[in-house]
Chain A
Amino acid sequence: MNTLSADWSKPQRQAPSALVILLFKAVVSLLKVLWPLLLVFILNKKSNSSDKYEYIILGVSILSVLRSVIEYYNFRFSISNDNLIITSGLFTKKTVTLPLHKIQAVHSEQTWVHRLFNVSRISFDSAGSEKMEVKIEALDKLRTGLMKELILSGKSITVIAENEKQIVKEETLITLAPNDLLKLGLSSNHLEAFFLIAAFVYSTLNNAGVSDKEFEGGAKWVYENFGQSSLSLFLFMTMVVLIISIGFSVIRILLTYFDFIISRSAVGFRIKSGFLNKKEKFIPFLKIQFISWKANWIRRRIGLSLLQFHATGTEQMQRKMLVKVPVTREQFISLLADSYHPLLMASAHEAIKIHTAYISRRVFIAGLLPSVLLFPFLYPYFQFSSFFVLLLVGFVWLSAFLFQKKFRLWVDKEALQIKKGVWGRHELILKWNNIQSVQVEQSIYQRKHLLASLHLNTAGGIIDIPFIELHKAREIQNYALYKIETDSSGWH
Chain B
Amino acid sequence: MEYFGNNQVDVSLLPKAEDISFQPIEKEYWKIMKWSWMITWSIILLTGVMLFAFIPGLRTVQSGLLLIPALAICLLSFWLMKKSFVQKGFAVREKDLLYKSGWLIQSISAIPFNRIQHCSVSSGILERTQGLASLSIFTAGASGSDLKIHGLKSTTANEMKDFIMTKIKTDEHTVG
For residues 99 through 125 of chain B, which have their beta carbon under 8 Å from a beta carbon of chain A?
102, 104-112, 114-115
Give every chain A residue within 8 A of B109 (Cβ-Cβ).
437-439
How many whole Å from A103's CB to the nearest CB in chain B?
Answer: 16
Binding site for A on B (CB under 8 A): 9, 11, 14-18, 95-96, 102, 104-112, 114-115, 139-142, 144-145, 147, 174-175
Taking CB atoms, residues of chain A closer than 8 Å to B141 are 436-437, 457-459, 462
Closest CB-CB distance, B47 to chain A, in whole Å? Answer: 22
Given A439-B107, A441-B107, A478-B16, also A485-B112 (CB < 8 A): yes
Report A-chain residues with C-beta under 8 Å of the C-beta of B16: 474, 478
| Cα-based distance from A488 to B140 in the complex (angstroms) | 17
Among B9, B95, B140, the residue within 8 A (CB) of A436 is B140
Stretch at the interface among A42-50, A64-72, A252-260, A442-450: A442-450
Q: Is the CB of B144 within 8 A of A462?
A: yes
Return chain B residues, CB-CB under 8 Å to A423.
Answer: none
In the bound complex, do residue A462 and residue B15 qualify as a contact, i.e. CB atoms below 8 Å apart?
no
Q: Which residues of A contact B (CB under 8 A)?
A: 127, 312, 413, 435-444, 447, 455, 457-459, 461-462, 474-475, 477-479, 481-482, 484-485, 487-491
A-B contact pairs, 23 of them (CB 8 A): A436-B115, A436-B140, A437-B109, A437-B111, A437-B112, A437-B139, A437-B141, A437-B147, A440-B17, A441-B105, A455-B144, A457-B139, A457-B144, A459-B142, A462-B145, A477-B108, A478-B15, A479-B14, A481-B17, A481-B112, A482-B9, A484-B114, A491-B115
- A312 and B140 in contact (CB under 8 A), knowing A481-B112, A485-B114? yes
Closest CB of chain B to A456's CB: distance in Å? 9
Interface of A, helix, strand, loop or mixed by DSSP: mixed
Looking across the interface, which residue of chain A has its beta carbon closest to that of B110? Answer: A438
Q: How far is the CA of A444 from the CA of B141 in the complex (A)?
A: 27
Number of A-B contacts (CB under 8 A): 97
Complex Cα–Cα for A487 and B171 (A): 11
Cα distance A442–B16 when bound, in Å? 17
Docked pose: A440 CA to B112 CA in angstroms: 15
Majority secondary structure of chain B interface residues (helix, strand, loop or mixed)? mixed
Q: Chain B contacts of A444 at CB under 8 A?
A: 104
Q: Least Cβ distance of B145 to chain A in Å?
A: 3
Contacts of A474 in B (CB 8 A): 16-18
Question: Known contacts A435-B115, A439-B108, A479-B14; can you find 13 more A-B pairs with CB under 8 A?
Answer: A436-B111, A436-B140, A437-B115, A447-B106, A462-B142, A462-B145, A478-B14, A478-B15, A484-B114, A485-B96, A487-B114, A491-B115, A491-B140
Task: Tell me whether B110 and A477 are in contact (CB under 8 A).
Answer: yes
Q: Is the CB of A437 within 8 A of B114?
A: no
Least CB separation from B12: chain A residue: A475
A488 with B175: in contact, given A441-B105, A474-B16, A477-B17 (CB under 8 Å)?
yes
**Docked complex Cα distance between A487 and B114 (Å):** 9
- Chain B neighbourhood of A441, CB < 8 A: 102, 105-107
Cα–Cα, bound, A491→B117 (Å): 12
CA distance A437 to B111 in the complex (A): 5
Across the interface, which residues of A come within 8 angstroms of B112, CB to CB?
Answer: 437, 481, 484-485
Q: Min CB distance, A409 to chain B, in Å?
A: 15
CA distance A426 to B69 in the complex (A): 42
**CB closest residue in chain B, given A483:** B9
Point out the residues of chain B lying under 8 angstroms from A440, CB to CB: 17, 107-108
Closest CB in chain A relative to B146 CB, distance in Å: 9
